[in-house]
Homo-oligomer: A and B are copies of this chain.
Amino acid sequence: MSKSVNIPKGTRDFLPLEMKRRNYIFTTIRNVFEQYGFEAIETPAMENLSTLMGKYGEEGDKLLFKILNSGDFLAKVDFSERNLYKWTSMLCEKGLRYDLTVPFARFVVQHRNEITLPFKRYQIQPVWRADRPQKGRYREFYQCDVDVIGSKSMLNEVELIQIEDDIFTRLGIEVAIKLNNRKILAGIAEYMGVVDKIIDITVAIDKLDKIGLENVKNELKIKGISDEAIAKLQPIFDLIGTNQEKLNQLNNILSHYPIALEGIREVQEIFDYLSHIQLNNSVELDLTLARGLNYYTASIIEVKAQKHSIGSLSGGGRYDDLTGIFGLPDIPGVGISFGADRIYDVLNEMDAFPPLVQTGIKALFINFGEKEAKYILPIISELRLAELSVMLYPDAIKIGRQFTYANNQQIPYVVIAGEEEIKNHCLQVKNMETGEQQTLKPSDLIALFNA
């Protein structure tokens, strides 16, 4: 019972209570997705490595879990050169999915003749990353993605923001919904005179929350951006006022950069629409929001808990050419993803899960032996036909231990049928909360348990 009875690091078992809590989160998210007209799809856990490689940057390639070819995998191995990259490609053709976005892009291209655009899909499945495991970061975790593809309208962004607002309202977590636009960031890079450094800039800005402005500036410097250019960033971070006031100031600063103006116009349109809707959470223009993934091309969205410093609970953005990597260009899309694990941690910390501890079993019938069991079995069948959840304890062990089981499982009623009850065609029913005990006919149970 030592070494082998363990699971790979960074993975988890979920026990019944955790499952109920996780399912509460998934069900809340799923219900909102479906209410907004999104439909579920699923893709396989394994994808061809050709689908996955090169989509998440060099670092991402390393974090892919690769599956050893079946059969005589050595047959394809060239022993002449000790090269990790070459060996991987000889030993493995498949990998576990790293996120839901790239498989979705592959799905859209592969099934383009089976879907109607705009295609509103959601997908709730686990993903795997060979990251160094640490608190709150796992090697297997669920993503809950919702995307619209085939539409360029900013109304999609509006709908996704409503979904964010709706889900976190239902979960009882107060959040700030942050909005930015990659085109504005591109305009800023132009304004700084470092167009070719746009990725370095977004990567650095993305860390602002974690490492602070001075360190971001240092990182930019290391990337070869001049002090002069970096100084131009300052007034942009210093914008103050309402979203509208910030947009106006930005419009002035970046007025010579068409790409920036396009981004500003898109953000403006989203805020205009939002002004016609009542939301429970704030939506803020946040120019420091960059999001690392480089397939985003316009809107970017991120949601953080107001009262918890746990990082983002959800985020996403618009990608105008995701399926292009698979040879199908010009399919625009926009989507967001919810991190179930972080949401779980926040709800846990807040102690904000609804009461979900019960098994759902309404009554435990005590087992006194074969004769009594035969009296009880048809009664239980009747109750189950009435959609009630009841059970007979399987073993005729000491009655005290059966009561303990009912207690542990928080079963509200215990039913006793011994010789006397069988003779009189009745049952003793004990309310485990009040301790009250009454003698009832089998036909009375449905009403009692439904009460």
CB A254 to nearest CB in B, in angstroms, measures 24
A195 within 8 A of B: no
Q: Which of B3, B328, B377, B395 sits near A273, CB closer than 8 Å?
A: B377
Closest B residue to A92 using CB positions: B68
Q: Which of chain A's residues 86-130 have a Cβ closer than 8 Å to chain B?
A: 87-88, 91-94, 96, 106-107, 109-111, 114-116, 118, 120-121, 126, 128, 130
Chain B residues within 8 Å of A37, by CB: 359-361, 389-391
Chain B residues within 8 Å of A388, by CB: 35
A84 within 8 A of B: yes
State in angstroms the CA–CA spacing of A166 and B387 once bound together: 11
In the complex the two chains form, is B48's CB within 8 Å of A74's CB? no
Task: Label chain A's interface by main secondary structure.
Answer: mixed
Q: Which of B1, B67, B84, B148 sits near A67, CB closer than 8 Å?
A: B67
In the complex the two chains form, is B374's CB within 8 Å of A276's CB? yes
A235 within 8 A of B: no
CB A365 to nearest CB in B, in angstroms, measures 11
In the complex the two chains form, is B276's CB within 8 Å of A391's CB? no
CB A337 to nearest CB in B, in angstroms, measures 18
Chain B residues within 8 Å of A409, by CB: 116
In the complex the two chains form, is A151's CB within 8 Å of B395's CB? yes
A153 within 8 A of B: yes
A36 within 8 A of B: yes
State in angstroms the CA–CA spacing of A120 and B5 once bound together: 21
In the complex the two chains form, is A48's CB within 8 Å of B4's CB? yes
State in angstroms the CA–CA spacing of A15 and B23 once bound together: 22
In the complex the two chains form, is A13's CB within 8 Å of B395's CB? no
A252 within 8 A of B: no
In the complex the two chains form, is B109's CB within 8 Å of A377's CB? no
A44 within 8 A of B: yes
Q: Which of B43, B272, B359 sits near A39, CB closer than 8 Å?
A: B359
State in angstroms the CA–CA spacing of A202 and B273 once bound together: 69
Contacts A4-B51, A68-B88, A377-B276 given: A11-B46 contact, CB under 8 Å?
A: yes
Chain B residues within 8 Å of A72, by CB: 84
Q: Mark A27-50, 1 if CB is under 8 A from B, else 0.
A: 000000011110111111111101
Chain B residues within 8 Å of A47, by CB: 7-8
Closest B residue to A70 using CB positions: B130
